[in-house]
Structure 1
Amino acid sequence: MNRFIFGIIILIWGCSAPKNEKSSVFSTNDIKYAKGFHIEKNEEGSFLVIDEPWPKAPKPIKYSLENVPNRIVCTSTSHLPFFEMLGEEDLVVGFPNINYISSKAFIDRANEGLITDLGPDGSMNMELLLGINPDAVIAFDMGGESQTLDKIKEAGIPVYYNSDFLEQSPLGRAEWIKFFGALLNKQHEADSIFSAIENEYLRLKELASKTENKPSILSGVVYGDTWFLPGGNNWAATFFNNAGGEYLWDTDTTTGWMELSFEAVYEKGHNADYWIGTSTLNSMDEMKGQDDRYAEFEAFKDQKVYNYSKKIGPNGGYDFFESGYSRPDLVLSDLIKVLHPELLPKYETVYFQQLN
């Protein structure tokens, strides 16, 4: 499953590193927010350890950092921004279904024949994959999807599991730039980039925390008979609250995504001040066309409905699901602009826009 598709479904919405000859090595203490990986150093060398490579994985996976890959296949659009941020776009030589990519840099490379389209990632074309001779595949596994990855490993191609999607905090998700920094021998760059993002995020969070008014927030839409929305411990809920809002389900302990009836959501959320995150519904008419009961919500009546649809790639890919995970500072800025525009009077949103 491509991470972009996965995102559409579910988001309806320390110490300084000691000097070392290997610039790609940094102390475990430098991983401040991410829970899913760490760097291990011992007499045998330096290793990138993925603590939970897929949901409920039985054990961690350890990768040596001795060799730096230079021909890489990515399997998720959310990995691509880290290559751009580290100035290593040229390392990516293959991607499954390039139509999902929003980044102009990668689209241009694909159009120039420098990135090979490997087909739907659920059944990656092994002949094409072997033909481009990669020395690494960066993959994600939601659980029960490892058949294709097993074939890749059997072909002798190293598979690096990236489980950033399991992180529960915005900064934890973004800190996976250090995964790429370690892998690509760009630790210092990765650390510097993340520090800047972290500092800006924390500054914005502090700014929003001083507001006395906390607008109430509703999120998600109905699919079939079920309303999908972020749980109270989901990273999206963290964004809402850090932006100076009050997510109506913030006392819920779900870390993933809640599935409720329309009636349950209406009972609690019909008077919400804002409705943020409407999946692929990008206008009020589209919303009413899917379910005319949406018009009964106060946020709908007041036209305070926003979606992450401001930047859509030439093939329909939502850039929010590509670069938003790596730039939580921008996402938080957007949400503060929506909820408290007086705090950022000159700021123009990057991902979110008001629906008409």
Structure 2
Amino acid sequence: MMMRKKVYQLICVMLCVTMMTAGVLTGCKAKEDTSTGQSAQGEGGSTDASEQEEEVPVIQGLEYERTMELDYAEAFDVYYYREGYKLIDVHNDRRYLIVPEESDVPKELDSDIIVLEQPLDCIYLAATSAMALFDAIDSIGAIRMSGTQASGWYIEHAVEAMEAGDIIYAGKYSEPDYEMLIDEGCDLAIESTMILHTPKVQEMIEDLDIPVFIDRSSYESHPLGRTEWVKLYAAMMNQETVAEEFFAEQTEIIEQLKDFKNTEKTVAFFYVSTNGTVVVRKSEDYIPKMIEIAGGRYVFEDLENKESDSAAVDLSMEEFYAVAQDADYLIYNSSIDNPIESIEDLTAKDELFQEFKAVKEGNVWCTGKYLYQATDIVGNLIADIHLMLTDGDESQMTFLYHVN
């Protein structure tokens, strides 16, 4: 009852604040980044205390050892200190100090550093893209609560865990069950960037003394950069060796694909939102990079998102048509929207699709719903796109299917 009372009191406080600031969108206070904002390792090089001592964050009472080596990821760094302490620096966002079990929290920490005390074994996971990475390092057991119901998961082990009651549904990211988070002893909430659209929810969770970690893997420009976030989660779980072995396997797949000869065929990757706008990816996103590695060209050469840091860009149908009408292939992204099963499904969204070259020539494809959750096997999508571009065997594809 005391736990429930605390939740209700917090809700009342938040409602009062909301009414007092009606019409003003407030969020969590921006944290000053006192780190260098740069990776402490050279490109492809190793790092140690003697070489990089001046570039790493200084934490009073801790002795720096090394920096995690990253091959593709650019959105984070992990710094290692003696006695098992680790600092995760998510660039342009927050820093998190991982404190080993039964160890003391260092005194006089910078105010922007969020403390994560191990073991982290009661996680609320609202970022669906992270589940496959926890699965890859045998750490699904650390996830106690999900922001997605069992029917929404396409990861076998996640479904099994929810059906067995090992993972319970705790409400979606925008409407979490605060009582459940408290009653279960939640020690970390892992959110996608969608939480930035509901800052009050993030504030409520943090007011319950539950740290919030925002997964920004979708901002990576290389497809394997997104997968390399497995190393970040491995740092939380002390599973670095497993992550290194797993990631080496994924890197090998990419290496086998890198010699694909570019066909110079153009590809548009998109979906149509409920308001009729067409949502594509900016040119520096990992999806266009996948298309390039697979042997194609993304139809938008220099597209940026001038509104935010998001990789998604909203275009009017006319803007999309002006660039994509002559694309050789259309790939409909159903990981966000519902899949299309026919050309009629596509043209029902807008009759203008009838004028697209790819529609006239029968080169329309669609992704499976589970694409966004499959952060662990990005090489498969690259292989699929290559098969599409070269009239390969559709039965060998993992994510794509032909739309007639």
Q: TM-score range by the shorter chain?
A: 0.7 to 0.9
Distance 1:46 1:289 in 2: 55
Evaluate the alpha carbon distance shift between residue 289 and residue 26 of structure 1 in structure 2; reply closer, same or farther with a 3 A threshold: farther
Please list, as runs of the form range in 1=range in 2, the aligned pairs for 1:204-353 lying within 5 A after superposition.
204-206=257-259, 208=260, 210-211=261-262, 213-223=263-273, 224-254=275-305, 256-279=311-334, 280-283=338-341, 284-309=343-368, 318-323=369-374, 325-341=375-391, 348-353=396-401
Distance 2:395 2:286 in 1: 23
8 Å contact kept, 1:138–1:162: yes
Partner of 2:96: 62
Evaluate the alpha carbon distance shift between residue 319 and residue 44 of structure 1 in structure 2; reply closer, same or farther with a 3 A threshold: same
Distance 1:132 1:116 in 2: 10
Please list, as runs of the form range in 1=range in 2, the aligned pairs for 1:187-202 lying within 5 A after superposition.
187-202=240-255
User: If the length of structure 2 is used for normalisation, what is the TM-score?
Assistant: 0.71
8 Å contact kept, 1:65–1:183: no
User: If the length of structure 1 is used for normalisation, what is the TM-score?
Assistant: 0.80
Evaluate the alpha carbon distance shift between residue 126 and residue 264 of structure 1 in structure 2; reply closer, same or farther with a 3 A threshold: closer
In structure 2, what residue type is equivalent to 1:28? T
- How many residue pairs are counted as aligned between the two chains? 318
Evaluate the alpha carbon distance shift between residue 261 and residue 69 of structure 1 in structure 2; reply closer, same or farther with a 3 A threshold: closer
Give 5+ residue unaligned stretches, structure 2: 1-43, 49-63, 101-117
8 Å contact kept, 1:270–1:297: yes
1:162 and 2:215 matched: yes
- C-alpha RMSD over aligned residues: 2.6
Partner of 1:7: none
- SS for the counterpart of 2:138 is coil
| Further displaced range: 266-275 or 87-96 | 266-275
Partner of 2:16: none
Instruction: Tell me how far 1:330 sits from its aligned partner.
Output: 1.2
> What do the CA deviations read for 1:319-346 (whole angstroms, capped 9, x no partner)?
11111x332211111111111245xx69
Identity among equivalent pairs (%)? 20
Please list, as runs of the form range in 1=range in 2, the aligned pairs for 1:97-112 lying within 5 A after superposition.
97-98=148-149, 99-112=151-164
Instruction: Tell me how far 1:238 sits from its aligned partner.
Output: 1.1
> What do the CA deviations read for 1:37-87 (whole angstroms, capped 9, x no partner)?
2121345753232333xxx54xx3122241232222211211111121112
Which has the higher Rg, Structure 1 or Structure 2?
2
Distance 2:124 2:68 in 1: 29
Instruction: Tell me how far 1:110 sits from its aligned partner.
Output: 1.2
Give 5+ residue unaligned stretches, structure 1: 1-13, 19-24, 310-317
Distance 1:166 1:231 in 2: 10
Distance 1:233 1:26 in 2: 33
Evaluate the alpha carbon distance shift between residue 103 and residue 235 of structure 1 in structure 2; reply closer, same or farther with a 3 A threshold: same
Distance 1:291 1:151 in 2: 40
Please list, as runs of the form range in 1=range in 2, the aligned pairs for 1:5-154 lying within 5 A after superposition.
14=44, 27-42=66-81, 46-52=85-91, 57=93, 60-66=94-100, 67-98=118-149, 99-142=151-194, 143-154=196-207
